[in-house]
Amino acid sequence: MRRNTRKRSRTAGRTVGAVAALALGAGGLAVANIYASADESGTSKGTAQNQAAAGSSTIDCPDVGQQLKDVPAQARTQVDRELALLDKQISEAYQRLSTSQRAIQQDANFAQNAIVGPLKDKRKATIDRIATAIGRVAAKPQGLDALAPCTLRATGNQPAAGQPAGGNGNQGGNNTNAGQAGNGPVAADFVDITKVKANVSTPARSKKASKGVFVSKCGVNANKLYNSDNVIVAPGVTNGAHHVHDYVGNQDNDAFSSDQDFAKAGTSCQNKGDKSSYYWPVLRLQDGTKEFDADKLGGGAEGNTGRILTAKKATLDFVGSPRGKVVAMPKFLRIITGDAKAFTNGTANANASWSCTGFENKVQLKDKYPLCPAGKDVVRTFKFQSCWDGKNIDSANHRTHVAFADAGGNCPSGFRAIPQLVQRLVYDVDAPSLKDNGKTRPLFALDGFPEQAHKPGTDHGDFINVFDARVTNKMVQCINTGRRCS
């Protein structure tokens, strides 16, 4: 479904929105109520709830957006806005949880009565409006009310010994810009890559494989184009991502960008026939730096703190299919790879990888940040879906119109192989000091939804195809004839 959202406002300076607004997508998949029953030692339900909420816990809600596989075009605008409101509600509930530690310690029922219960009521009203909007033009979806309740879930972000429980605890008390209580990252989110067993294998390619590579060179966002919008999942909603993105390629991407805006915009790509938009969450060094967004939504106000790191290198390669030739991607195709809510949603859609230069052919990490040896750089890699349904440039949950090939490189029935975007980001950042929880050398972490605790598995990338026809044809020919082009 093509989006032509009319621009109604702009974020000044193309930075994080100063206007408090709605948010991206919807909440995470309910996992387990961490205070549902007594433990073996006889801890009461209330006491367990109290300890969980007063320590490092997060808000865990069912992901409504991922359940909506078919939303009629006439209802899409309202549904997108209601889904965004669900995320705003979760963010606000998480913020209250993180600032209510004393009340939670004093009253075992505070978190349930004052935070989780009211959140359920707000979500139910919002979900009802979603069902009603769809029901006006199609069959009204049933059973969505079951997605309203949320639970508390432990994050594992316990403060290090000697660190206070009221902040990140990862700056040795020197950081005046610390994130919210228990927001992360923590030492347990990192692993020494030299101690990880090799886990990379190369799939076999058939003789018919399309072995070419098309390279687009679009820079590293040296001009610092940032905002906390996401026009794919929250069109028309300022701060729709609740975290800040780097943008390369198209220079007109914000919540209000239409296809026409993308087509008219400038590009950071060397090939001016590539006006595609490539964006990803920024990586920050938790060194106490007060960035431009230290007090803004999407930034410090939602737990995304520290110095924004610009990649030293970004490569955008389009590769072929191991089974045969590829067809051209449709213009304005949207693809999201990875899951910004994988910590609460689970890992079904989490596929971004972390590694170090010199180790990429041996080790790729999904759920840990890498500690790289001296002289090696941190690498983030995103492989985008390489199969397209042949009809749609987007889908209700932004996933079902594209798919990954199976282990043998085959697309699902009815899908066609398209050039696969493989995005690689390289960062010059020292391995943090874990023994003192980042005091000597600070930790680094992704921006993310506040309730996702900055877990590395929530890394993700977004792509909107705005290649012109000439370059699109060159890409396909290059890949299918086994050449390397740029």
Evaluate if residue 206 carries a pLDDT over 90. no
> pLDDT of 357-414, one tens digit each?
999 999 999 999 999 999 999 999 999 999 999 999 999 999 999 999 999 999 999 9
Of the candidate ranges 101-110, 316-325, 372-381, the one whose mean pLDDT is the lowest: 101-110
Mean residue pLDDT of the chain comes to: 87
Evaluate if residue 21 carries a pLDDT over 70. no
Q: Quick one: which of 465, 481, 379, 466 has its CA closest to 428?
A: 379
The pLDDT value given to residue 159: 53
The pLDDT value given to residue 157: 77
Evaluate if residue 142 carries a pLDDT over 90. yes
**Average pLDDT score over residue span 288-314:** 96
> pLDDT of 434-462, one tens digit each?
999 999 999 999 999 999 999 999 999 99
The pLDDT value given to residue 397: 94
Residue with more model confidence, 163 or 486: 486
The pLDDT value given to residue 16: 37
Of the candidate ranges 52-56, 122-126, 157-161, the one whose mean pLDDT is the lowest: 52-56
**Average pLDDT score over residue span 272-300:** 97
Q: Quick one: which of 21, 66, 457, 455 has its CA closest to 242?
A: 21
The pLDDT value given to residue 31: 33
The pLDDT value given to residue 33: 31
**Average pLDDT score over residue span 102-114:** 93
The pLDDT value given to residue 52: 46
Evaluate if residue 202 carries a pLDDT over 90. no
Amino acid at 176: T
The pLDDT value given to residue 50: 47
Residue with more model confidence, 305 or 22: 305
* 8 Å CB contact between 76 and 1: yes
3-state SS record for the chain: CCCCCCCCCCCHHHCCCCCCCCCCCCCCCCCCCCCCCCCCCCCCHHHHHHHHHHCCEEEECCCHHHHCCCCCHHHHHHHHHHHHHHHHHHHHHHHHHHCCHHHHHHCCCHHHHHHHHHHHHHHHHHHHHHHHHHHCCCCCCCCHHHHCCCEEEECCCCCCCCCCCCCCCCCCCCCCCCCCCCCCCCHHHEEEHHHCCCCCCCCCCCCCCCCCEEEECCCCCCCCCEECCCCCCCCCCCCCCCCCEEEEEECCCCCCCCHHHHHHCCECCCCCCECCEEEEECEEECCCCCCCCCCCCCCHHHCCCCEEECCCEEEEEEECCCCCCCCCCCCCCEEEEECCCHHHHCCCCCCCEEEECCCCCCCCECCCEEECCCCCCEEEEEECCCEECCCCCCCCCCCCCEECCCCCCCCCCCCEECCEEEEEEEECCCCCCCCCCCCCCCCEEECCCHHHCCCHHHCEEEEECCECHHHHHHHHHHHHCCCEEC
The pLDDT value given to residue 155: 87
The pTM of the full predicted model, rounded to 2 decimals, is 0.86
**Average pLDDT score over residue span 55-84:** 92
Evaluate if residue 180 carries a pLDDT over 90. no
Of the candidate ranges 169-178, 198-207, 233-242, 362-371, the one whose mean pLDDT is the lowest: 169-178
Evaluate if residue 485 carries a pLDDT over 50. yes
Q: How confident is the model at residue 338 (pLDDT cuts 50, 70, 90)?
A: very high
